[in-house]
Structure 1
Amino acid sequence: MTANYLIGLREGLEATLVVVLLMAYLAKTDRRHLIPRLWTGVAAAVAVSVGFGALLTFGPKGLTFEAQEAIGGSLSILAVGLVTWMVFWMARTARTLGSDLKSRVDRSAGGAGWGLAVVAAIAVGREGLETALFLWAAAKATGETTQPLLGALLGLATAAGLGYLLHRGVLKVNLSRFFTWTGAALIVIAGGVLSYGVHDLQEARLLPGLHSLAFDISAAVPPSSWYGTLLKGTLNFSPATTWLEAAAWLVYVLPVLFLYLRTHFTSVPPGRTMAGNNHAAKAPAAA
Structure 2
Amino acid sequence: MFGAAFLVALREGLEISLILGIIFSYLRGLNRKDTFKPIWIGAAIAIALSVLVGCILYVATGGEEWHGQIYLEAAIFLAAVGILSYMTFWMKKNSPGMHKGIQSTIDKALKSSGDTSQLVILAFITIIREGIELVMFLLAISIEGKNNFVSLGSGTLVGILLASLIGWGIYQGTTKINLKAFFRVMGNLLIIVAAGLLINAVHEFIELGLIQPVAYLYDLEAILNQRGAVGGILHALIGYTDRLSVTQFIIWLIYMIPALLLFNRNKKKPQVENPALT
Q: TM-score, normalised by structure 1?
A: 0.87
Runs of 4+ in structure 1 deviating by more than 6 angstroms, as ranges, are none
Give the aligned partner of residue 152 of structure 1: 156
Q: Are residues 1:209 and 2:208 paired?
A: no
Counting matched residue pairs gives 267
Q: Distance in 2 between matches of 1:12 and 1:172?
A: 17
Gaps of 5+ in 2: 270-274
The match for 1:7 is 8
TM-superposed CA distance for 1:245, in Å, is 1.7
What is the match of residue 197 of structure 2? 193
Select which of 225, 229, 232 maps to 2:232.
229
Cα deviation, residue 173, structure 1? 1.1
Q: In structure 1, list runs of 5 or more residues that go unmatched.
A: 269-273, 276-287
In 2, Cα distance between equivalents of 1:242 and 1:22: 48
> What is the CA–CA distance in structure 1 between the aligned matches of 2:227 and 2:16, rounded to whole Å?
36
1:59 Cα offset (Å): 1.8
Q: Identity, % of aligned pairs? A: 28
Is the Cα contact below 8 Å between 1:80 and 1:190 reproduced in 2?
A: yes
Q: Distance in 2 between matches of 1:149 and 1:194?
A: 22
| Superposition deviation, residue 64 in structure 1 | 5.4
Q: Matched residues in 1 for 2:225 and 2:62: separation?
A: 29
Do residues 95 (structure 1) and 99 (structure 2) align?
no
Separation (CA, whole Å) in 1 of partners of 2:227 and 2:134:
27
Q: Shift of residue 170 of structure 1? A: 1.6
SS at match of 1:266: coil
Map 1:51-70 → 2, pairs under 5 A: 51-61=52-62, 65-70=66-71
Distance 1:158 1:47 in 2: 21
- The CA deviation at 1:236 is 2.1
The structural deviation recorded for 1:144 is 3.5
Matched, 1:161 2:165: yes
How far apart, in 2, do the equivalents of 1:117 and 1:51 lie?
Answer: 19
Cα distance, 1:202–1:235 mapped onto 2, change above 3 Å:
same
Answer with 219-228 or 41-50: which moved more.
219-228
Amino acid corresponding to residue 70 of structure 1 in structure 2: Y
Alignment partner for residue 120 of structure 2, among 114, 117, 121?
Answer: 117
Please give the TM-score of this superposition, normalised by the length of structure 2: 0.90
| Greater mean alpha carbon deviation, residues 61-70 or residues 42-51 | 61-70
